[in-house]
Chain A
Amino acid sequence: MSAVPPYAELVAATNFSFLRGAAHPQHMVLTALLLGHTGLGIADRNTVAGVVRAYCALKDLREEGAPPPEKVRDGSGPGEYVFVEHPRTGAMPVARDELKVLAQAFKLVVGARLAFADGTPDIVVYPTDRAAWGRLCRLLSLGKRRAKKAGCVLTFDDLLADPSGLLLIVLPSQPFDGLSHLLGQVDEAAPGAVWLGATMHRRGDDRRRLARLKASAAAARVPLLATNDALYDEPGARDLQDVLTCIREKVTIHRAGRLLEVNAERHLKRPAEMARLFADAPEALEETQHLLSRIDFSLKELEYDYPEETVPPGWTAQAWLQEVTWRRAAIRYPDGVPSKVEALLKEELALIARLDYARYFLTILDIVRVAEDKGILCQGRGSAANSAVCYVLGITAVDPAEHDLLFARFISEERREPPDIDVDFEHERREEIIQHIYEKYGRERAGIAATVISYRPRSAMREVGKALGLSEDVTARLASTQWSSWGTDIKDAHVAQAGLDPHNPLIRQALDLARRLLGFPRHLSQHVGGFVLTRGRLDETVPIGNAAMKDRTFIEWDKDDIDATGLMKIDVLALGMLTCIRKSFDLMRRHGLGDLALHDVEPDDQAVYDMLCKADSLGVFQVESRAQMNMLPRLKPRKFYDLVIQVAIVRPGPIQGDMVHPYLRRRAKLETENYPSPSPEHGDEDELYQVLNKTLGVPLFQEQAMRLAMVAAKFSDTEANQLRRSMATFRHVGTIGHFETQMVERMVARGYERAFAQRCFDQIKGFGSYGFPESHAASFAKLVYVSSWIKCHHPAVFACALLNSQPMGFYAPAQIVRDAQEHGVEVRAVDVNHSFHDCTLEDAGGALALRLGFRQVDGLGEEAGASVVGHRRTGYSSVEDLARRTRLPARVLRRLADADAMRSMGLDRRNALWEVRRIPDNAPLPLFAAADARELGDEPAVDLAHMSLGEHVAADYQTLRLSLKAHPMQILRPLFEAERVLTCAEASARADGARARTAGIVLVRQRPGNGNAIFITLEDETGITNVVLWARLFEQFRREVMAARLLLVEGQVQKSPEGVVHLMAERVFDRTEILKQLSEVHEAAPEFARADEFVHPQQPRGASSHPRNVRVLPKSRDFH
């Protein structure tokens, strides 16, 4: 047998050809490598979104001799890689070194497959150099900007405009008559850089087609190129590809018919097979090598350059940064820069100079300054809080004079990764910053990073079910088998739980396909706020397209891709609490309560800590959640660092690592601090003390966990880096196994106890999901302190600002208002003669009273409120007066009357409505309007029935979602008293272990973490009750829990020494019906708090689940 000619597949799609390609880029690379291709061309449909992953996969193979972690079967140790997912390619497990060698010689070329809007056959485009890559990116940007959401509209002429440096492969689906003409056209535009792609997919007429293509190619003097137009790595992926086709075409598999591929030929094939298929045109095989050799471009050539606008002329970036830093330091420390800080600044500036990051800092500074100018509060978070430079520049608020910062966590010389600064802005005004960035740097130089939206168990199951034609019913049941859509695996047990047989072949098939679909990218979406800015054109580095949101454009790469290609990203994030704090400061200024900024709130005020120790933290940043509130009386924060710990400790990391209780015990001096030591021959017995003494010997922060790996298990920098990376992908991929053995065994070998080692590792695993690095916790703790301080000293201001910043936080307006009332604030009702759109503060004999604004009225727009305020002058005397002056549509007036906002005119809700409904819903007659006279004649007084308090309360809940008149439970109390139901206050006052029956409005239902228990918060007129319902009982009472707005709970009171009270539910009754007694005709439907997981499901349902946590996920590089 003669030698097999070399071959490289040059038309390979990945699953970034959304709903077409059926293999991950990294699998395509690995398979091509194992099959003996000399290279691979990745070309996805009108996108380059997947190429970085392919590039990284090859890089990993070259460096590690191992495929990316996804390919490793869980539990196999390093060096024992088995290619379990590729049995059918016939690849024998290749030794690591052999793979390295193969990978070195393997050439990956990246480009895109252009699918035209004008009917031209697809053309695959590969740039030969950096400049050509830029042209391709701009071409794709052009098409994407032109298209509406998620499309790309390109025409043949767009390509022909400037194809220099691009290699083009024309891929007709069928030979056709004009083909040689078309080839001629392309060849004229790009002389000598055109190929005609031919495929042999065993369609019957392959040879005849090949002959015709050959003839067309010859006529146009264009070489023929052998390809397999691959959609997946191995033939077994055919079914998945069919399912993708069904999803794309929105048909079921049974009706898809010939939309599907006839066979499974579109996989990567061995060179020998390609040679056999192309026996009639061996030269087409040679062309693959020829084409490969013409390409001299790799993604590593994309170099990044920071924008330069921020440096004034005549300065170097570094000099300017130093200048600004020292200038600002002098302002920050008016009494002179402390020597500790001075040393830090010098050290940091030197490192910044060595790594040439000055322009990065200046860019951030510029953005922060713009925010300052606009009066928008902002604060850096994450590892940037480890930097003294960031502090003096006003980017972060953690004072280096008071805290030990670890700059090395932020930027490290050996990591050589660009720094990552995340800055939070007020959530209501972040868009201004975003638009400023676009304006300043231009759309072609600034873009938001992408987020790859991938299939999760729920969505995968639903789509597969639909494609297989399963009934809606079964599909929904399969899809809802899990509470979380964040998992990575669909378990048989879950299926059985849903009452379906996991061994039924059809279900089996659906599950199998859904499992394989997991993690497939579905589409690109914009990142929450990660901006990439460049000095040159960004759209010559990566295509930029329109986001679904107006005025937003984003690039095709996500943050991992950005890291891998060395671009720089700035996270411009939104934080509701900043809005609230800024509004508080504004209110304080307006009412003469002082002029404050984030960093000059009086530190260490014991009154604030007293308040927090009582768990009186409703509305306060971070520590307002149920879990945090339970922790406060236990942890008893007395100084700022305690808050840092408080923020970090109620996280899955410390909880899963079982670190919380040891810490609390040690803090309460019930247990002595001890620091496990290695055997003496293995080093310093104090090695862990250095790492852990700040947290009493218990690792609570991410940094500590990673330091632990390095110090106790002697992980090298590289290994720690790998661990860090695999932690970052842990929640996506679930392969951290081999690190476990590595870390635990090494610690044991060095003389640590196995149990301790295991606990340390468990915690690292927990951090993989959600844990806080110390600096990040410190940034947040700052906001906790500031918000607590405002709440403590100015409760009216705080409540007002909080209401005006809604929606944010855990609580609904009803609870915020009530909390304010409990803190002695007088709350006044919405009124047309007193209210503004926002809630306001009114003078109430020295104190401030909170006046609710029109924003609390459901369905009332800002303009309506403005109109009422604008025409108010000295006040409205009657409904007609109001209607005439404001000219508001009748619909709006009715809403105001319905909200009982006309009491100042002597009209209660019912009478106001009666009056308002008389106002005709059209423009006044011109004559009356001109005379500004009354239009309506007099009418006999109508005697309307009296509206009871219950009816008012019910109507208040309907229109305002809260009532100042009474709590619904207060009105229902006689009914419950008759049933011997305790108030919440009475229940809480009972002794530990006593039995209690209590009822209340359901505020929050949560099922945190492992889902063993459901937490329900009930509220009545006396306070709240925290109910705990074990999961097995939940199944029994599921309907009650899920449906009830008013719940009666029977159970046992459990009281902790710190006074934290829980009611352990034994029986649960849905008493929602009784709400009808409030009013025969008005159904009060009290609102769930925003923290309720069932009404406001939160994507990663972590333990202390909160929507904000999605945005505060720590960056993987916050530690090393």
Chain B
Amino acid sequence: MLVEAVRGAQRLAAVSREALRLGLAPGLPLADARARVPNLLVREHEPSADSALLARMAEDAQRWTPLVALDPPHGLMLDVTGCAHLFDGEAAMRERVLQRLRRGGFSARGSLAGTPEAARALARFGRAAVVPTGHEAEAVRPLSIAALELPEETALALRRAGFKRIGDLADRPSAPLTSRFGPELSTKLRRLLGREDVRITPERPLPTCSAERAFAEPISRSETIARVLRALIEQVCAQLEGRGEGGRAFEARFDRTDGAKRRIGAEAGRPLRDPEAIDRLFRERLDALADPLDPGFGFDSIVLSVLASEPLDSVQPTLDGRAVAENEVADLIDRLIARFGPARVARFVPVDTHDPVRAARLVPATVESREGEAWPRPEPGEPPTRPLHLLEPPEPVEAVAEVPDGPPIRFRWRRALHDVARAEGPERILPEWWRDRQTPARDYYRVEDARGRRFWLFREGQYEEGESPRWYLHGLFA
């Protein structure tokens, strides 16, 4: 059961068959549904995920025909003109299409008809079937007028006028109908009855750049392969430049003479269109392959495509070369990832919390930095309150301090005794109670010893609570 918020109230957006059997229908407020059936399994409705899934299914459907259109929210429209014979005729093709979807765990209904409207109406409101061209009218006449999918107001008016089925409308003169229910009705009706046809607008193919080189003689020497690849990369980069984009994911496909295909992918942490950088990525990938590229009797073609791209403006390096330096870090990351895999290259991101241990988090370096993620900066003119180097876990120290919450006077860390010359604190940090209710509060002190070294110490617990609290060194300031 999926719910969505409609004007402040949670309403059912989609329900399972079981729920439908219990009389719970989309549009019902969740509270009402719960009042009827208390133990419902409820998830948030995610229309964007649905449409993403539908888009993926549309992509998959390109196996049947290149002309695939989305029919949101939950339909696909396939123009199979001239394709059916490839799949043993229309009926068999419909069966195969539906079977493939069912194997994927979807329940699907499909109809084949001469016009998209008729096919859609039959699939959604009638007995799904294959309708031979020219017989649409016959097939749709028994359908309820709901199949016209008119606005609710018009549909109700039609019902009030006594029209229940498409057939009731089909034989009427269209003028009185049009003057009452608008031209939309007549148009829909004509299309549904197969009297007018509109082609579907297929999904635009994915905007990819690719470059291909076919060879009269298969090539097998790695130097040649590398050279060809480099040339292809340059071609692709030129295309990318033309589009003002950079590639985030690349794929090189090596077609062997025996028909075997080998695909090697490479991803970048930022949009790339520097041939050198892309080339370097592929070199890293090829070097790191556990299963080296085996040319066999040679490759007869190599295709390089860009699978994902993003806008990329040409960067004018600043005078101090800063932008270049940043790019170099990014390049380094990409190369490290290409060699060691994305899981093994990480970077720190700040976490919005008071807890110093959790204040930084490691994420895969490829993860985009999110907005608003900024490392806390000290107030201008104020000293840093967090050490540069954090000891994890904190190291116990012996300390002498003023009771109850004075800073340490001297402490012994790793057998060395430090006399505290200056100290500031306490900064009392409590554990986050929703994770941890046991750990006592920590009182942190920034201290400087007689030799000018600065430490971050804390006392766990309070003197006043009976047992004497323990001291730890948690970090070192630069």
Contacts and interface: CB of A to CB of B under 8 A. Distances in A.
Given A174-B379, A202-B443, A939-B176, A264 B430 contact: yes
A498 B430 CA distance: 34
B34 A509 contact: no
B330 interface: no
A257 B44 CA distance: 25
B159 interface: yes
Contact of B164 (A257, A1072, A1081): A1081
A384 B23 CA distance: 52
A333 interface: no
A946 B444 CA distance: 87
Contacts of A1094: 35
Nearest to A1095: B32
A904 interface: no
Contacts of B376: 258
B433 to A, nearest CB: 5
B353 interface: yes
A477 B37 CA distance: 12
Interface stretch (B197-205, B268-276, B284-292, B420-428): B420-428
Interface string A312-342: 0000000000000000000000000000000
A1080 interface: yes
Contact of B42 (A239, A264, A472, A1082): A472
Contacts of B173: 940
B22 interface: yes
B354 A262 contact: yes
A910 B159 CA distance: 9
Given A204-B425, A945-B162, A913 B179 contact: no
B173 to A, nearest CB: 8
B30 interface: yes
Contacts of B401: none
Contacts of A257: 351-354
B44 A238 contact: no
Contact of A1082 (B159, B161, B163): B159
B217 interface: no
A477 B180 CA distance: 49
Contacts of B429: 262-263
Contacts, number: 127
A1038 B34 CA distance: 10
A914 interface: yes
Contact of B30 (A468, A476, A913, A942): A476
A237 to B, nearest CB: 11
Contact of B428 (A205, A265, A909): A265
B382 A205 contact: yes
A940 B172 CA distance: 12
A265 B30 CA distance: 42
B7 interface: no
A334 B415 CA distance: 108
Nearest to A174: B379
A146 interface: no
A5 interface: no
Given A242-B433, A264-B430, A1038-B38, A258 B353 contact: yes
Given A894-B157, A910-B161, A1038-B38, A917 B181 contact: yes
A1038 B32 CA distance: 11
Interface residues of A, number: 56
Interface residues of B, number: 54
A473 B42 contact: yes
A1042 interface: yes
B160 interface: yes
Given A909-B160, A939-B176, A1038-B36, A1070 B23 contact: yes
B235 interface: no
A374 B42 CA distance: 55
Nearest to B434: A253
B14 to A, nearest CB: 16
Contacts of A873: none
Given A202-B426, A202-B427, A1039-B23, A914 B161 contact: yes
A1082 B156 CA distance: 8
A332 B403 CA distance: 83
A945 B162 CA distance: 6
A262 B173 CA distance: 77
Most buried by B among A257, A898, A942: A257
A1043 B36 contact: yes
Nearest to A469: B434
Given A253-B434, A258-B352, A1042-B35, A947 B162 contact: yes
B316 interface: no
Given A204-B385, A253-B434, A1080 B164 contact: yes
A498 B38 contact: yes
Interface string A870-890: 000000000000000000000
Contacts of B427: 202-205, 262
Nearest to A941: B176
A208 interface: yes
A610 B446 CA distance: 90
B441 interface: yes
Contacts of A1082: 159-160
A403 interface: no
Interface string A241-271: 0100000000001111110101111000000
A918 B179 contact: yes
Nearest to B358: A257
A894 B180 CA distance: 11
A958 to B, nearest CB: 9
Interface string A889-924: 000001000100000000001100110011000000
B430 A472 contact: no
B86 to A, nearest CB: 43
Nearest to A480: B34
Contact of B446 (A204, A942, A945): A204
Most buried by A among B38, B434, B444: B434
Most buried by A among B3, B22, B38, B354: B38
A914 B354 contact: no
A264 to B, nearest CB: 6
Interface string B352-387: 111000000000000000000000100100100100
Nearest to A259: B352
Listed from nearest, the 5 A-B pairs whose CB atoms lie closest are A257-B352, A204-B427, A945-B162, A917-B180, A202-B428
Given A202-B426, A910-B162, 13 more contacts: A203-B428, A204-B424, A205-B424, A207-B424, A238-B433, A254-B434, A256-B352, A262-B427, A264-B430, A473-B42, A476-B42, A499-B39, A917-B179
13 contacts: A204-B427, A263-B430, A472-B10, A476-B10, A476-B42, A894-B157, A917-B161, A918-B180, A944-B161, A945-B168, A1081-B164, A1082-B159, A1094-B35
